[in-house]
Each structure stands twice: as C-alpha cells, then as structure tokens.
Amino acid sequence: MDNDKFVELCKDKVVEYTNMFMNLNSISHPVHISTSDVYVVWLNRTLQNNKALLSTTVSDGMYYEVTYNGDKNELYFDAYSHVHNRAFKLDE
C-alpha cells in the first residue's frame, strides 16, 4: 500500500473512531470531525508494512497508532489517551 493511500485510510479510521467514541461518552458536547481535523505526527514504511501516529484537533488528549501488515493485508488500530507528562532535568 502506498503512503498516500495508507494515510487516507488512517485518517478515515481515526474520524470513524472519534465521531463514534466521543459522541457515546459526551452527550452534552457532541463531536463531529472530518479528515481535515486529523493530522499525522509520524509516518514510516518498511518493506510492505506501514505505521502512522496520528492525532486530531479535538483537545481530548487522544492519539492513534495505525499499522498495516502487508504480509497479512491487515490493519491494526490502537487508541491511546495522554495521561501524564513530566519534564526531567538531565545532568550534562
């Protein structure tokens, strides 16, 4: 699968998930995004496999990992929530 087709598929899956999940959990603030609200943070292709990390313009702390396994023609979708961020000073 080429990168453009893969990214399009990834964005479609993130939109599908976000619109379904956000509306199930937030009746008072319905969310509806399109692919223009999804951006690629990181993208890699190795041999016949692709992987992308994506996020959206929705400020919910979510990010998504989508992997295409070219050997099995399967797509894997993982959704993560950003729970903690801490800076550490390093000794020089």
- Quote the mean pLDDT of the chain: 91
pTM of the model: 0.86
Q: Phi, psi (5° rounding) for residue 71?
A: -65, -35
Separation of CA 3 from chain center: 15
Over range 47-54, report the average pLDDT: 96
Which pLDDT tens digit goes with each residue over 8-39? 999 999 999 999 887 766 556 677 999 999 99
The pLDDT of residue 54 is: 98
- What dihedral do alpha carbons 15, 19, 25, 29 form, nearest 10°? 120
Which pLDDT tens digit goes with each residue over 76-89? 999 999 888 899 99
Secondary element (H or E) of residue 54: strand 49-56
Tell me which DSSP letter residue 72 carries. Answer: T
The pLDDT of residue 77 is: 97
